[in-house]
């Protein structure tokens, strides 16, 4: 099983739609979880951290299911500007150091 696995998409949705992305991770010891957004040929930017209780930031909601090792991102009322690749990110510990493992990303295309 890959460390972080995501459906590459693309997800094609109309403006105003609700869309959900899922991600699974293999390391049960992971403690930190994030969603990053990456525009074409740009650097990744932090979208939100993901907490066990679930968290919301405007139109974005993230959920974590530790038992199933599963993370989700829900985007409501999609905007054209939401078109990007969404990266699922999980931490791992190597000899006491914590580093991040990035999924390959899920591409979202929002159309008028």
Partner 1 sequence: DGGITQSPKYLFRKEGQNVTLSCEQNLNHDAMYWYRQDPGQGLRLIYYSQIVNDFQKGDIAEGYSVSREKKESFPLTVTSAQKNPTAFYLCASSPPGAGGPFGSTDTQYFGPGTRLTVL
User: Does residue 108 bind partner 1 (CB under 8 A)?
Assistant: no
Instruction: Sketch the per residue contact string, 37 through 66, with partner 1: x for CB under 8 A, - otherwise.
Output: ----xxxxxx--x-----------------
User: Does residue 83 bind partner 1 (CB under 8 A)?
Assistant: no
Instruction: Print burial letters for 67-94: b (CB count within 10 Å at least 16), e (below 16).
Output: eebebbbebeebeeebbbbbbbbbbbee
Q: Which span sits near partner 1 by CB under 8 A: 11-19, 21-29, 35-43, 73-81?
A: 35-43
106: left (phi over 0), alpha (psi -120 to 50) or beta: beta
Residue from 28, 68, 81, 99 that binds partner 1 (CB under 8 A)?
Answer: 99
């Amino acid at each position: 099983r890959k460390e972080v696995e995501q459906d590459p998409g693309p997800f094609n949705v109309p403006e105003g739609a609700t869309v959900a992305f899922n991600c699974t991770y293999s390391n049960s010891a992971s403690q930190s979880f994030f969603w990053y957004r990456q525009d074409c040929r740009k650097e990744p930017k932090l979208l939100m951290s993901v907490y066990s209780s679930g968290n919301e930031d405007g139109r974005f909601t993230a959920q974590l299911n530790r038992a199933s090792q599963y993370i989700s991102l829900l985007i409501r009322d999609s905007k054209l500007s939401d078109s990007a690749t969404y990266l699922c990110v999980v931490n791992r510990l190597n000899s006491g150091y914590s580093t991040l493992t990035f999924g390959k990303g899920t591409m979202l295309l929002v159309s008028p």
